[in-house]
Amino acid sequence: MFLKIVLLLSIVLQIVAAIISLKLTKRTKYNLSWVFISLGFASLLFRMILEALPLYFDVEPYYYRTLYIWLGVSSATCFAIGLVLIRKIFDYMDKMEKEKRASENKYLSVIIQTEELERKRLAKDLHDGLGPLLSTVKMSASALKKQNLNEHSAQILENMDKLILESIKSIRDIANNLSPHVLDNFGLEKAINNFLQKINATKIMKIDYQSNLKGLRMEQNIETVLYRVFCELVNNTYKHANATKININLYYDLFAVTLKYRDNGKGFDMKTVLKSQKKGSGLYNILSRVNSLKGSINFDSLEGKGTEMIIQIPFNNENSK
């Protein structure tokens, strides 16, 4: 009785396996390997049914012995051929995964390029639109200062003149942060040095920066991504790490441009930070920019032991500007 129950359960499970196999055949685009595997499951199912018949009915096995043998041969052959050909399924899956990654990288690249174009447009509007208007207001204020005014009016005009100067400076800083003209006109090395001068002027952190670029010009998207990532790393250290020292190495060879970054800050737990941050900010911003150029990024950060990061972006020196 126990044998009958076990055999019946085996047949039911085999039926379920055959049905699932047939459904997966459609999902594999009727791949030949999975067709053979499905046929193997079907042959094995019929063989099990024939094997169970004598336990439930008055049937002698020798009546269908030949069929039983051929079903065994058929299932074994189908499974063998299916397993030999199944490599095509994995090749197809690898192909789909590569196409998915390429599509994601292309999508990221388009987003970043669109963002940079919008930054440039806003920077140009501020610099060429609002900037001249404030300069005109300052000229008018300067003209009024030459008039004979009482002391109170002169003081108000003096304060207004200072506010206009501060506003002009703020607009220039905002426009430069949105789209540094130094990066477009003079390249990555000059833009980084200009950025570091502003950071070093605060005397909050000591930054040791070394590079072998020496005025090398690369593709605009590579320069832009590296500059944005560079600024993001320094700003994150400044805001969150409580660090006193940063070591940065930026160098290139025939195959890649590499950014090595290390600080002596408080560090962080990678999984916790990535889980708590929203996409499009912080580390996600760095990761997406690097991925858009098919680059690689390695983090090494522990709480209380600082942060180290190595970023590599494929770069052909022969095509440099």
Number of domains in the chain: 3
121-147 pLDDT per residue, tens: 776 666 566 667 777 777 777 777 777
* 276, pLDDT greater than 70: no
**Same domain as 304, residue 202:** yes
Supply the pLDDT for residue 319: 46
Beta carbons within 8 Å of 231's beta carbon, 6+ residues apart: 195
Considering only 17-26, 179-188, 213-222, 293-302, which range has the smallest mean pLDDT? Answer: 17-26
**Same domain as 291, residue 247:** yes
47-66 pLDDT per residue, tens: 877 777 777 777 676 667 78
d(C-alpha 238, C-alpha 126), whole Å? 27
**Same domain as 200, residue 303:** yes
Structural domain containing residue 150: 116-178
- Of 127, 147, 178, which residue constitutes the final position of a domain? 178
Q: How many CB atoms lie within 10 A of CB 31?
A: 18
Q: SS3 of 175, please?
A: helix
**Same domain as 168, residue 187:** no
Task: Please check whether residue 48 lies inside any domain of the structure.
Answer: yes
* 277, pLDDT greater than 80: no
Supply the pLDDT for residue 310: 92
Task: Please check whether residue 302 lies inside any domain of the structure.
Answer: yes
Decide: 24 and 65 in contact? Cβ < 8 Å.
no
Q: Residue 255: which CATH number? A: 3.30.565.10
Task: Please check whether residue 100 lies inside any domain of the structure.
Answer: no
User: DSSP assignment of 41-71, as one string?
Assistant: HHHHHHHHHHHHHHHHSS--GGGGHHHHHHH
Decide: 175 and 126 in contact? Cβ < 8 Å.
yes
pTM: 0.58
